[in-house]
Chain A
Amino acid sequence: MSKNLSIKKVLVLGSGPIVIGQAAEFDYSGTQAIESLKEEGVEVILLTSNPATIMTDQGIADTTYMEPMTPEFVKKIIYKERPEAVLPTMGGQTALNLALTLAGEGFFEKEGVKLLGVNLQTIQDAEDRELFKRLMKKINEPTPESTSVNSLNQALEFAEQHGLPLIVRPAFTLGGTGGGIASTVEELKSIVSSGLRNSPIEQCLIEKSIAGYKEVEYEIVRDSNDNCIVVCNMENIDPVGIHTGDSIVVAPSQTLNDKEYQLLRDASLKIVRSLKIEGGCNVQLALDPQSENYYVIEVNPRVSRSSALASKATGYPIAKVAAKIALGMTMDEIQNPITKNTCACFEPSLDYVVVKFPRWPFDKFQGANKKLGTQMMATGETMAIGSNFEEALLKGIRSLEIKREHLLMESALGLSKEELMRMISKQDDDRIFYIAHAIREQATLKEIHDLTKIDLWFLNKIHNIIKIEEEIRNSDIGFETLKRAKNKGFSDSAIAFLKDVPTSLVEDARKRFGIQPVYKMVDTCAGEFEANTPYFYSTYGEENESIPSNSKSILVLGSGPIRIGQGVEFDCATVHAVKALKEMGYTAIVVNNNPETVSTDYNLADRLYFEPLHLEDVMNVIELEKPIGVIAQFGGQTAINLVEGLTQRGVKILGADHETVEMCENREKWELFLKGLDIAQPLGLTAKGIEEAIDKANELGYPVMLRPSYVIGGQAMQIVYDQKELESYYQEHNLKLEEILIDRYMIGIEAEVDAICDGKNILIPGIMEHIERAGVHSGDSFAVYPPQSLSESVIEQMSSVTSKIAKSLGLVGMINIQFVIKKNEVFVLEVNPRASRTVPFLSKVTNVPMAKVATKAMLGMDILSQNFTPGLMPEMNTVNVKAPVFSSSKLRDVDTALGPEMKSTGEAIGRDLTLEKALEKAFQAANMNVPSCGTILVTLADKHKLETIPLLKKFHEFGFSFLATKGTSKALMEHGLPSRVVEKIGESEKDLIHEIKSSNVDLIINTITKGKNVESDGFKMRRAAAENGIICLTSLDTAHALAKAIELKALKVLTL
């Protein structure tokens, strides 16, 4: 077999905006695939709607379309570009579903366009539960007893026959949206109903629960010659019952003997062969811990989150190989890019242990239901590599950045064994921590195993960690103890904590004893063949394999796991910084721990260290590599948090130094600084105790913005409009004498600027205007470039303020400033002396690779010599709208109302020549497709009623009808707007929740956000909307924007 040379032009489908279950891994796989296709001389067209991606960078694909990921746009692009084939296996479920829709219509056939990597039958066989089961039966592979249902009654019947518990999985959904385990009939009813709604084909698979079985995954690659290999197998520490995306996973499997390993390998290969997949594929299996019985759980006929993990865990680039296979190449024709002297047709061998740890968003969503189940809730993950399980696990925990540096959780200290066992049974994100604490409180491993079904092997390893803790506590830390602890991955700070001594003491002792980590290479072959790939992890051994180069090097700190508020945007910036460094001839070193991203592709940096972004781990790399500087500007808050420690250790920070960072974060210093520059900011005061808070709020005048001084990132931030709300804020957050920051809340337009300063000059590529007024977190706002309603004088003020601040801070590098504009006057809300999440968006729409320019500026290449004219750049002639994308349906008990706390997980772009068209595209790209007529459910706060009338009149003219509760309905009537009255929640069976669930509502406009508790009506309504896939707008500004977009397509009815 040789390459299919007939294919010269391919359309690659990306995965669109980031949502839970579909994150940065598809930027990694897409980018790899595109590069791999280009290597074979293929012209690549790309479609994705997410601007915060590397794959959409100039120079990656030959032609890039950032348009909504809808069948309509795929068709348009195919008509325009006439590619010979479409590659839909690199863009997750989004791309696959898109291809399926079009293939189902016969579009590809009609247009003579080939589907690469997969065929229609394969997708259906793998994704349609019933067909999949039938196929498994045909090839004699066992699946749990199950049935597909299209109605609740069918589900209940099956339950009667086979009993509970049952697992419910909706067909064709991302990350198992809407699924779960039902142990009671009530639970079954609720989960099946939501599952049917979430499934695009209204189908759920109901199956017998095999919870407690070992969950094992195999990453397979197959080519057109039927060659089939296993890249990696992985074992979930959390047995079947918890989504693999929410499980702690270890690679390779640890508790399977060779017979079991091969049994499951054989089954996986057989399945992939029967599906005739050409490319990457993931097979999930469940193995009985007491016999060789197993079940096939599911198959993903495409590259996935797991394949990204397997690629990083082994060094084998699955997406790259899969793309070449899609062209018809066979694996023996493809080189192993790590060794360069063996081929891609082999199975990697690991000589280390890999642990993946999920990163959940519950720090942001404190009210969320944290119970882990079959629906994935993690937003990101970390990967850690060690010589033993304990080391990899502890490194993984350090990488999470959840303020825990060890398998230890302060909130669990002091709990009794019984309390801990109860917490373990809750099966939430903290379970492994509670397990460790329970062992510390003398719980037996058997007891924990009985409760969790976690294999005793893993529990024994956790016990090992605790035994070492005891040894540390009960001895003077000598060489042997210290060495043992370090070998098992203990950080200096953990040892110091256990010993109650300063960390520096442990560090000094360790260095005195000569206990230093070495770095080993990830080489796909366990050292059997020579490899030259500079991809390293630290461990404690004899030989250090990482030999620093003699040339000048710069270390770039990555941003760690993806979480809300720190997404793939920062990885984009990191990648650009690395590319800029390489262009300038420096050796670029990356330290990061996120397996999903492009920045941890070992082809990117000159040297990659897969390590926790923890001071000790980073310092170890610095001590070895001795870089001339460290760049912390692109790694979000993660990297910024390391600046202080690194500075204290004499490390040179390029870009904003510690002093600048502190200045921007310290309220008093910052106020003085702005005052000195004569720059206005909203008035703010601090208060201790509720009486003082009431006084200060009166002094500033309501509304005011409240937040405790000790939190960062918008947590527990709230706008209150009167004293009553202030009092309930104190109550809700259980506040006593803590220091509270009170700022005057200015109702005005919000805008933001990202700029680059070289120390002398400043470059402002553009200004973004937010659609939602101040008070909505900037990450959750729609934003427009160029600004649509700001006057020239305002724009000038913003650019001069930006310039003043940057220069006075003496900053070299990036700065982000958020403004609020009131009555043509500009106030500074916030300054971040680093790259912000809007950098990729702004870079794309202004054509200025900002992170690159900033990196070069930090290394002494000023703006002028980079051929840019300082100051605010002229506006581009396209209108670009950034739309936030939420994962609300995936997280239970999370309020979707917009506020000062960020909630979105991703972003999409809408680009066109007018604002209206750009908005319409942005709504579509963000999966907020609103019909041009229908029913709007309106619930308004009194203070918003008047303001809303003109907007509703517009909607009425377009052809919308209204549903409203009594009060609102009356107000509408007074302004000549007819509406149907709907009962408030609980007032009758046909209340507004019923209306939402019965699909009688197309859109909700809801401005009552007061009272964040789960019991409030507003909350219940918003949850009902999220779970039923109905768009709920909580900001009138978004509603206005939507009206603009609808106006474009609305055909009004006219009378004669």
Chain B
Amino acid sequence: MKLILENGDVYHGESYGASVEQGAILGEVVFNTAMSGYQEVFTDPSYCDQIITMTYPLIGNYGVSIEDYEGLAPSCKAIIAKEFCEIPNHWKGKKSIKDFFVKHNIPALVGVDTRKLVKTIRSQGSLKGVLAADDLSFEDCAPHFKNSLSGQVSRVSTKGPIHYSSKGEKRVVVIDYGCKKSIISSLLQRQCDVILMPWNSSFTDVQEQEPDGIVLSNGPGDPSELESVLPTIRELQEVYPLFGICMGHQVFALANNCKTHKLKFGHRGSNHPVKDIESGKVFITSQNHGYSVDLETVESSDLSISQTSLNDQSVEGLKHKYFNAFSVQYHPEANPGPSDTNFLFDKFISMLEGE
């Protein structure tokens, strides 16, 4: 099997996971630099429609466990790696990565010079790619490249509200743009009752749940496609304490008249340094995003920048100048990655308590 990029580059490898149906699969080819946490990455709904290249060469070492799913099932298109572990060994990870791929019908390509691929993406930006059988040529796959990859949020979001109950007295509505399980469990751990609601829920839908606060979740794709949800967010932020994460951060920014743009090749990994402007402290964060908030557009908005990336100075954190609302571009819920910024959930909880 092989990967054909829209620029014509071809990467050969062996088919490892599920077989490729109808000869070819299209996705946006991205890379993730995390050295552990492959299962969390593969099941994160934010990777919807993407072909994930892992830079760490050995994937599957500790198998796959029931606990470490971040979504019900992976929504990515395919996985590319240098080597998959045939015989994992871990008390929790009883299943092999191959079982996982087959079960969830995820094709994978193995034996690829992943570093070469990463360097191509680094220099040319994220590219569309087609995973194709060996006998297909670039021309054969050309029609695929014309297909656009969009509308992911509506596909991965819950269709109706889901209630995760805890003994807590606070209730949080999480707007699901493609929410990771760990966001919900971070709230549950803090004794919050959590209601996960569809991405296009209206202000009234949310209000009916009588929440104490709102979390805008992470999710896949281009935030500018979500124009329709912006008025709801504007209403919500006036009434409830609000916390945006990743896609949630981006739509929070858009709702407040900022703009977003596509990054050249995104931030995906567990080692991204983010500096808090007020304290001067640096946190190592888990990131997974292809879009970013325009720095210049924040200045003229009602938001202010609270955190920036030390790697490329892009916007990593925002807060509302007047409302009880803030957001971060990265993943404070970790899984995978460091929990340095886990305290943001505590900060959010204290906002609910009116502090």
Contact = CB atoms under 8 A, between A and B. Distances in A.
10 contacts: A253-B36, A257-B93, A258-B337, A262-B336, A262-B337, A265-B338, A330-B282, A345-B310, A346-B271, A542-B116
Q: Which 9 A-B pairs have the closest CB atoms?
A: A258-B37, A542-B113, A526-B55, A543-B116, A347-B271, A527-B118, A349-B33, A258-B336, A541-B113
Contact of A457 (B33, B89, B273, B336): B89
Contact of A347 (B58, B119, B284, B336): B284
B122 A530 contact: yes
A353 B58 contact: yes
Main secondary structure of the interface of B (DSSP, over half): loop
B322 interface: no
A290 B36 contact: no
B59 to A, nearest CB: 11
A389 B59 CA distance: 12
Interface string B81-124: 01101011111110000000000000000000111101100100
B280 A457 contact: no
A291 interface: yes
Main secondary structure of the interface of A (DSSP, over half): loop
A222 to B, nearest CB: 11
A348 interface: yes
Interface string A1-21: 100000000000000000000
A796 interface: no
B273 A543 contact: no
A255 B55 contact: no
Given A291-B91, A345-B273, A528-B122, A254 B335 contact: no
A230 B338 CA distance: 10
B271 A289 contact: no
A349 B35 contact: yes
Interface in B262-320: 269-273, 275, 280-282, 284, 310-311
A349 B65 contact: no
Interface in A243-289: 252-259, 261-262, 265-266, 289
A387 B37 contact: no
Contacts of A542: 11, 113, 116
Contacts of A526: 33, 55-56, 115, 118, 269
A346 B275 CA distance: 11
B40 interface: yes
B36 A529 contact: no
A351 B122 contact: no
B310 A262 contact: no
B68 interface: yes
Contacts of A948: none
A290 B272 CA distance: 31
B337 A527 contact: no
B277 to A, nearest CB: 12
A456 interface: yes
Contacts of B69: none
A350 B83 contact: no
B73 interface: no
B16 to A, nearest CB: 15
Contacts, number: 158
Given A229-B284, A332-B275, A527-B115, A351 B311 contact: no
Given A345-B273, A348-B271, A349-B56, 7 more contacts: A257-B39, A257-B68, A258-B39, A258-B40, A332-B282, A527-B115, A527-B118
Interface residues of A, number: 53
B281 A351 contact: no
Contacts of A387: 57, 82-83
A266 B339 CA distance: 8
Nearest to B62: A257
A251 to B, nearest CB: 10
A864 interface: no
A451 interface: no
B348 to A, nearest CB: 20
Contacts of B282: 225, 227, 330-332, 345
Contact of A262 (B92, B116, B339): B339
A810 to B, nearest CB: 47
Interface in A499-534: 520, 525-530
A258 B59 CA distance: 12
Interface string A661-679: 0000000000000000000
A342 interface: yes
A349 B82 contact: no
A295 B228 CA distance: 51
A657 interface: no
Interface string A336-350: 000000110111111
A456 B336 contact: no
Nearest to A289: B91
A258 B272 contact: no
A332 B273 contact: yes
Nearest to A257: B62
A352 interface: yes
Contacts of A761: none
B271 A349 contact: yes
Contacts of B61: 254-255, 457
A348 B93 CA distance: 26
Contacts of B270: 347, 349
Contacts of A342: 310-311
Contacts of A261: 35-37
A543 B35 contact: no
A150 interface: no
> Could you say which of B55, B115, B284 has the most chain A C-beta atoms within 10 Å of its C-beta?
B115
B334 interface: yes
Given A262-B337, A332-B275, A346-B273, A351 B57 contact: yes
A89 B91 CA distance: 39
A388 B310 contact: no
B127 interface: no
Contacts of A255: 61-62, 89-90
Interface in A193-227: 225-227
Given A332-B282, A345-B273, A529-B122, A254 B113 contact: no
A760 B21 CA distance: 76
Contacts of B65: 257
Contacts of B280: 1, 225, 330, 332
A586 B122 CA distance: 32
B34 interface: yes
Interface string A313-349: 0000000000000000011100000000011011111
B311 A226 contact: no
Given A332-B275, A350-B56, A353-B57, A262 B338 contact: yes
Contacts of A808: none
B118 A346 contact: no
A259 B336 CA distance: 8
Interface string B12-45: 0000000000000000000101111101100000
A343 B273 contact: yes
B273 A258 contact: no
A907 interface: no
Interface in A385-407: 387-389
A257 B311 contact: no
B115 A541 contact: yes
A460 interface: yes
Contacts of B339: 262, 266
